[in-house]
Chains A and B, each alone.
Chain A
């Protein structure tokens, strides 16, 4: 019933007909256009700026520079407000600056009648710089004489270290094999199809309205208030449909600026829409990371100890900063929980584009390192990589060594077994023994992942749901959960329908987020929404149902305990479910009876104080063309334990989309940064290799459905996890095919060429 069904997305028809409205679709004639003046260097100081000619150009409304903005630094990360100042995000961003920290840093902004005039005006601005050496690598950034990128920081944004599940030295003593290796993952990007865009105007003299493509409307409201130094209640953020985010819109990037501009321009509407090139250079990216891994294994493939030392680079501003590497590290402890784990992580400022949240938040990088190391060790020990993982994999009831809490549900072993049989692992492994030489070589790879659901206990997990019984007996649901394409609205409709007992067709969803109206929720990130909003929807639906039954009891005289809501009627369960009153009649009475009733609603704000672990794995079969340095995926499967699947069609979509992104990160995607200058070579969709239709093979998936006891509907994270394990699985398959351990991402032809050459597979 409802949950678990193949329900069509509630917004699908709006989207296939072109009726769905996104931020830019609210543009109306007369809206002013804003454009940034961006730095042409990656590190330095503005020593001269002349904007007079631009100001005088006809059609230019205003030019603002770093001298005109509030002297307030804010933290842009889309995190809940931290009551504990020690855990607050780093506040290091001004609206405009003369201290250049990355290529494209924002120095001034032009507001004009239209884009063409804004461009002309920008060309008239003269800038002089004092340029400093670009600090682009950990060696340069950590050098004793390195310049401080932010005056008040040592260039280290965060650092932490821990051991869990035992004493690390003692655990390494037990190992028969110690494997030590370095791994590296490159900076990659979200490349959501809709660039960052925001539009603002004022309703009166006090209230600023911002329409924005954001994953975090309620947080954006707060950060706009902070950045402008105005009460937060004077800011209203509206989020219509959004063209993807993948974490890049879990950051407050444009909203404070458009709000500032409209407030300076008598409330005129102002739009700030980034071009693709700006969006790729000046929003957020996945942090590149350098790893040193030390893994201790018993001869039989039992993992006993693992130490990971990692350096993450966050670019010119902290944004999500150290949280990324911290979250990735802690979530990876769930995967093989019966070993001793050590972790040391540092996050550095760098004169490269800014790192922020991206799908799976640090886990893809860390999982690449540890799952590559696992296969390296399996090879040295001569054990089967699947068997080795089954031996060490988390099981329900294991204690998570990091949180010390029991793992509440876990189907990882079943995922591995399912994947092994789907890809015909044993049979193909036998067959591929004869394909390890020559030009085309075949191999199989596997990798696992663990992930969390939400951010508790690091952050608050608050979600709101409001459900109203309409005059016609249908219901309207408002939540603070943000639909960003992942299908949150549809999942909420299914959940509400299930708990109330009504058909999903009778549920209407308010999709637009409006901070003046919708219940508070922190937004779409950490694969949290279906889990935490699920708990809020369950409570609200249960409460509304009780109100409906109580009112039915009042109207019909039957005791409420003998009544239930089934479909479109209230039925008497003690009398063969005979209908006692239709929901429609009940609703009409509740609104229009002159003496009794009233609008039946439930309004719930719920804090979830649990975090559900989710698991899964990738199996892949590849052909490696040695002379062409090209990898072809013959077959690929992701198998997930995401608890109960709310909607199989939408779940399939999340898995397939995540896998395609994982394949991109594995084989082609990389932000190319010049190490000398900090310049970016490929901030466009031609040179940055997002997988196109012809690059993605047929994609397969399956689920192992466990029931998560802490979720009202048994579900766990699914939006982010599918991206995590494809890259290490592909890497391990290349290793199986060629014997060459490629220890960096992406495994592009250039990287494979170097690796094959140094292993003698290609002539120098």
Chain B
């Protein structure tokens, strides 16, 4: 069964005819054509598919596409504007928080959500750990990701 849904992706309105069984991840990757978000498990274990739905971090592999009807989606592709990396992206580059990069699109969104949430608050390294605990990285050991998040919090 198919259903027509409407949502915005990175600010652009999209109207799509989707199989009701599809995940948001499949729709983003295979219909919208945005392959930034990755599938590492497909069942909510790894966070590689993380995107923001109405500014809330979700695993798009277990978020049905039809639930996104009427909502606004943010993906990694929307974080770099006018050729300028977001502060989170820039910090990931400078701190070496990227290796194979497969977890990176999801992590960038998790850190973006963290940054927006903790903008004017004090936080600790353990807050960073806890708030990113749904995202697995097998390459970095997380240390450089903490450093990237810390640096991004100091920038606009």
Contact = CB atoms under 8 A, between A and B. Distances in A.
Contacts of A686: 45
Contacts of B42: 275-276
25 contacts: A8-B93, A12-B93, A12-B98, A13-B93, A16-B80, A16-B89, A16-B98, A17-B80, A18-B35, A18-B36, A21-B35, A24-B35, A29-B30, A193-B137, A243-B103, A244-B100, A244-B139, A649-B95, A656-B143, A657-B99, A658-B141, A660-B140, A685-B41, A692-B133, A694-B126
A21 B33 CA distance: 12
Interface in B18-58: 21, 29-30, 34-43, 45-46, 48
Nearest to B102: A243
Given A193-B48, A694-B129, A684 B100 contact: no
Q: Which 3 interchain pairs have the tightest Cβ spacing?
A: A18-B36, A485-B100, A243-B102
Interface in A1-52: 8-9, 11-22, 24-25, 27, 29
A15 B79 CA distance: 12
Given A16-B92, A685-B136, 12 more contacts: A9-B93, A16-B76, A16-B80, A16-B98, A29-B30, A193-B102, A276-B40, A653-B140, A656-B142, A656-B144, A660-B141, A693-B136
A712 B7 CA distance: 55
Interface string B104-140: 1100100000000000000001101110110111111
Interface of A: 8-9, 11-22, 24-25, 27, 29, 116, 190-195, 241-244, 246, 275-276, 484-487, 649-650, 652-653, 656-661, 684-686, 690, 692-694, 696, 698-699
Interface in B46-89: 46, 48, 75-77, 79-80, 85, 89
The A contact surface, by secondary structure, is loop
B34 A18 contact: yes
Given A193-B48, A684-B41, A693-B132, A15 B104 contact: yes
Contacts of B46: 193, 276, 685
A101 to B, nearest CB: 26
Contacts of A16: 76, 80, 85, 89, 92-93, 98, 101, 104, 108
Contacts of A684: 41, 43, 45
A693 B133 contact: yes
Contacts of A21: 35
A18 B37 contact: yes
B124 to A, nearest CB: 12
B9 to A, nearest CB: 12
A18 B92 CA distance: 13
B94 interface: yes
Nearest to B46: A685
Contacts of A13: 85, 89, 93
Contacts of B98: 9, 11-12, 15-16
B125 to A, nearest CB: 7
A192 B45 contact: no
Contacts of A193: 38, 40, 46, 48, 100, 102-103, 136-139
Contact of B129 (A242, A484, A656, A693): A693
A698 B96 CA distance: 16
Contacts of B76: 16-18
B128 to A, nearest CB: 8
Nearest to B30: A27
A652 B148 CA distance: 14
